[in-house]
C-alpha cells in the first residue's frame, strides 16, 4: 500500500510502498478515506527538537482520519465491516490507576497513533476496536476526518460552563477556531479570539466570534471596553502555548475566573502566580479528549447544528502532500485535508 512516512532522521517525508497491515485479534483494518494534517505532523516533518527526542523512524505519520472498516480480528465484537469510523489516537494501557477508574484520557502510558505507532497517512491503518468511533449519523467526511482535533476543542471549551459567559480564546489555529465555534454554539455571550495572523482571525469571523484582536496592534483590554464588559472575561481558553498570551489572559480575566490550557509551550516560561492567587483563578490543563464522553458530545453538537466547515480551507490529494505541508507551514490556512480516495 501507499503510505506517507518519516524514513529516518532529518527533514521531509517520503510517499512510498509499505506492507499492508494485518489486524490483530482485537483490531480492525480501516481503509483510509480522508486525513487531517495536525501540528504534530508538522513537527515530525520538520524534524524539530521534539520530533528528534520522540520519534523513532521509520514511521507512518497521521492520527486524524476517517475511513471504512474492511476487516476485523476474531475477537472484535462491536465494530462491523462496512462501518464508517474515525479513531481515538491515544492508545491507553488499561491497567494504570486512571484507566481502571475510567479516566482513560489521563493514562500516563499513552501510545500515540502516528507518533509511537504507525498511523493513518496510508491507504490502510489498524486500530484496536476500543479506539474506534463509529459514525452512526450522517457526517461530512472532511469533518469526520478531524474529529480528533475537534475533540480537543470540545474538551477544552466545555471544561467549564460557558453558557452566558464571556470567553477569551488566545490562539486562532484550527483548534482555537473550533473552540470559538463550540463556545458560541454552547451559548457563550461574548467570544473574543486573539492572534497575530490576519488570515486566521478572518476565519474567526466566519465561525461567529463577537470580536477578534490582532494583539500585535490592539489590546484585549481595549476590546473589553468596546463590548461594554466591566469585570473581565469569565472563561479563558489558552490555545497558543505562548507566555504573552497567558499573561494577557490572566490580566483580563475576572476574579474567580477559570482558565483551560491546551496550548503546549515550546519552552518553560514564568507565570504571575501572585495574580493567580489573589484573583482566585482556576487553571486546568487539557490533553486530548475524554474517552468517550467528548466523542458523544462532538456528535451531538454536529447533529444540533454546529458548523466547523469554514475552518476547513484546503484540500489536497495525498500525492500532493508536499504542497499540503508547505501550505500548513505557511500559516495562511485553517484545517488541511488529504484525500486518500
Q: Which residues are identified as catalytic?
A: 40, 43
Q: Is 286 annotated as a binding residue?
A: yes
Task: Check the annotation: does 55 bind a ligand.
Answer: no
Q: Is 195 annotated as a binding residue?
A: yes
Strand partners, 66: 34, 86
Is 333 annotated as ligand-binding?
Answer: no
Q: Please, are residues 189 and 209 in contact by the beta-carbon 8 Å criterion?
A: no
Q: Which three cell numbers stand for residue 45?
A: 516533518
> Residue 95: CB partners within 8 Å, gap ≥ 6?
none
The answer to whether the annotation marks 96 as part of a ligand binding site is: yes
**8 annotated as a binding-site residue:** no
CA nearest 240: which of 256, 227, 255, 259? 259
Largest CA-CA distance found in the chain, in angstroms, rounded = 62
Residue positions counted in the chain: 341
The verdict on whether residue 64 carries a ligand-binding annotation is: yes
Instruction: Report, in angstroms and rounded to the nearest whole number, the Rg of the chain calculated over CA atoms.
Output: 20
322 is in an annotated binding site: no
Query: What is the distance between the alpha carbons of residues 203 and 319, in angstroms, rounded to a whole number?
Result: 27
Residue 124: Cβ within 10 Å count:
22
Residue 93 marked as a ligand binder: yes
Task: Answer yes or no: is 267 a known binding residue.
Answer: no
Q: What letter does residue 264 receive in the DSSP assignment?
A: P
The answer to whether 287 is a known ligand-binding residue is yes
Q: Which residues carry a binding-site annotation for NAD(+)?
A: 175, 195, 200, 262-264, 286-287
Q: Which residues carry a binding-site annotation for Zn(2+)?
A: 38, 63-64, 93, 96, 99, 107
Amino acid at each position: 500500500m501507499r503510505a506517507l512516512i518519516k524514513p529516518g532522521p532529518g527533514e521531509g517525508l517520503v510517499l512510498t510502498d509499505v506492507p499492508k497491515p494485518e489486524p490483530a485479534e482485537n483490531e480492525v483494518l480501516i481503509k483510509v478515506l480522508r486525513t487531517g494534517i495536525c501540528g504534530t505532523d508538522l513537527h515530525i516533518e520538520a524534524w524539530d527538537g521534539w520530533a528528534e527526542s520522540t520519534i523513532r523512524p521509520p514511521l507512518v505519520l497521521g492520527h486524524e482520519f476517517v475511513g471504512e472498516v474492511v476487516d476485523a480480528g476474531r475477537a472484535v465484537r462491536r465494530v462491523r465491516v462496512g462501518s464508517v469510523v474515525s479513531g481515538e489516537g491515544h492508545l491507553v494501557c488499561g491497567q494504570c490507576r486512571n484507566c481502571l477508574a475510567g479516566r482513560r484520557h489521563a493514562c500516563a502510558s499513552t501510545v500515540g497513533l502516528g507518533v509511537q505507532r504507525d498511523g493513518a497517512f496510508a491507504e490502510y491503518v489498524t486500530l484496536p476496536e476500543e479506539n474506534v468511533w463509529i459514525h452512526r449519523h450522517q457526517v461530512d467526511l472532511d469533518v469526520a476526518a478531524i474529529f480528533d482535533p475537534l475533540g480537543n476543542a470540545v474538551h477544552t471549551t466545555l471544561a467549564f460552563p460557558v453558557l452566558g459567559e464571556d470567553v477569551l480564546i488566545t490562539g486562532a489555529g484550527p483548534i482555537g477556531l473550533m473552540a470559538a465555534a463550540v463556545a458560541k454554539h454552547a451559548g457563550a455571550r461574548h467570544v473574543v479570539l486573539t492572534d497575530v495572523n490576519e488570515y486566521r482571525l478572518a476565519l474567526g469571523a466566519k465561525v461567529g466570534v463577537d470580536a477578534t484582536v490582532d494583539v500585535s496592534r490592539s489590546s484585549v483590554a481595549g476590546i473589553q471596553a468596546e463590548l461594554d464588559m466591566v469585570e473581565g472575561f469569565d472563561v479563558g481558553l489558552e490555545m497558543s502555548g505562548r507566555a504573552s498570551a497567558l499573561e494577557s489572559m490572566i490580566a483580563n480575566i475576572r476574579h474567580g475566573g477559570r482558565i483551560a490550557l491546551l496550548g503546549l509551550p515550546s519552552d518553560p516560561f514564568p507565570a504571575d502566580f501572585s495574580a493567580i492567587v489573589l484573583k482566585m483563578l482556576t487553571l486546568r490543563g487539557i490533553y486530548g479528549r475524554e474517552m468517550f464522553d467528548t466523542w458523544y458530545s462532538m456528535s451531538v453538537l454536529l447533529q444540533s447544528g454546529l458548523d466547523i466547515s469554514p475552518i476547513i480551507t484546503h484540500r489536497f490529494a495525498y500525492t500532493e502532500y508536499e504542497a499540503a505541508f508547505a501550505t500548513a507551514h505557511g500559516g495562511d490556512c485553517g484545517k488541511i485535508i488529504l484525500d486518500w480516495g
